[in-house]
Amino acid sequence: MKIGIVGAGIVGRLLAWHLCQQDCEVHLFCRGSLEGEDACSFIAAGMISPFSEQEFLQSEWHHLGEKALAWWPRILATLPDKVFYQDNGSLILASSRQKSYLNHYIDKIWRQLNIKVPVLTEKEIVSFEPELTNFIGCYLPQEARIDPQQLFAALNIFLINEGVVYHPFHEVEFISAKRIKANQAEFIFDKTIDCRGLGAKTMLPTLRGVRGELIYCQALNVNIQHQIRLLHPRYPCYIVPRENHTYVIGATQIESESNAPMTIESALALMTAAVGVHPGFHEANITALHARSRPTMPNHFPYCAEVEGIMHINGMFRHGYLLGPILAEQVARKILENE
């Protein structure tokens, strides 16, 4: 079966991973380079958080996210290069003055998921993270994180070795159930899949962009081992540890489709939040500032449907790494069953 996948973000690449192992001839069309730097999922924090993302998910999506957690070790085991991945959970933090925010957060988990999460004292938080003092919070164990840049690089090698045909720098001009036109050339397939994100707005008019901004830094004076979410009325943020004292700091959500560089206002807000969590971030070296608009549907949930013979997967918003593996598996299975 010859399959054309338009869009080489995390979902497009995971679809290719599934399908190329099922004797399919897979073609992957990228608007940018083979490496994928232009994809919003390439610069993402890489959190796999079915519980702490509950404010953006309904229970059925949460349960899919739990299933996706089991997929990541299976995917990584097939790749030729090591990819940073840790599954030691998340800490949700609040100052004692913001206890009402923490209670509301925990209550929402209870209402939506029927799961009781205990409040941790300052002493209990320190038992998880000795350098984080003066915080209360809660611990969500079934969460993980991954390094997207390492993942993209390892997936590229695997997919090429498995015979996937990449079409980098191909701007898709037309797509139908069995035809893709790009760079004034026409390609014929048995099945086409559209994973272009905001590139598919002409076909999905309710799709919109929500801008996210991230700071990458190296903080040698910081030793945080869990991904952190700070609950705060003015400066909420998440801090995601990676290797070699590298951290990703983010939180901003702006109703904008601009991919312009990060504003000073956003950078100051994120840095203020990070320093509030750990003063060691004062001495951190900023290695990159990223801003990218993420595809979002009106309900903030992923969109997965077949329209006029084209399979669409879009609107992944904050959930590419959480839901990407399971949605890619479901779509691949559906395509193969209908072959």
Class assignment of domain 2-82+147-200+299-338? alpha beta
Phi-psi region of 123 (alpha: psi -120 to 50; beta: other; left: phi over 0): alpha
pLDDT for 327: 95
User: What is the 3-class SS of the chain, one letter each residue?
Assistant: CEEEEECCCHHHHHHHHHHHCCCCEEEEECCCCCCCCCCCCCCCCCEECCCCCHHHCCHHHHHHHHHHHHHHHHHHHCCCCCCCEECCCEEEEECHHHHHHHHHHHHHHHHHHCCCCCCECHHHHHHHCCCCCCCEEEEECCCEEECHHHHHHHHHHHHHHCCCEEECCCCEEEECCCEEEECCEEEECCEEEECCHHHHCCCCCCCEEEEEEEEEEECCCCCCCCEEEECCCCCCEEEEECCCCEEEEEEEEECCCCCCCCCHHHHHHHHHHHHHHCHHHHHCEEEEEEEEEEEECCCCCCEEEEECCEEEEECCCCCHHHHHHHHHHHHHHHHHHCC
CA-to-CA dists, residue 337 to 108, 165, 170, 332, 334, angstroms: 38, 23, 29, 9, 5
**Domain map (residue ranges) of the chain:** 2-82+147-200+299-338, 86-144+208-296
Axis crossing angle, helix 10-20 with helix 320-337, rounded to the nearest 10:
40
Question: CA 318 to CA 303: how far, in whole Å?
Answer: 13
Of the chain, the percentage scoring pLDDT greater than 90 comes to 86
pTM of the model as a whole = 0.95
pLDDT for 293: 93
pLDDT for 251: 83
pLDDT for 141: 95
pLDDT for 221: 97
Q: What does CATH list as the number for 86-144+208-296?
A: 3.30.9.10
Mean pLDDT by 10 residues, the chain (339 residues): 97 98 96 94 94 76 86 97 97 95 92 91 98 97 97 98 97 95 96 95 93 96 97 91 97 84 93 96 97 92 93 94 95 89
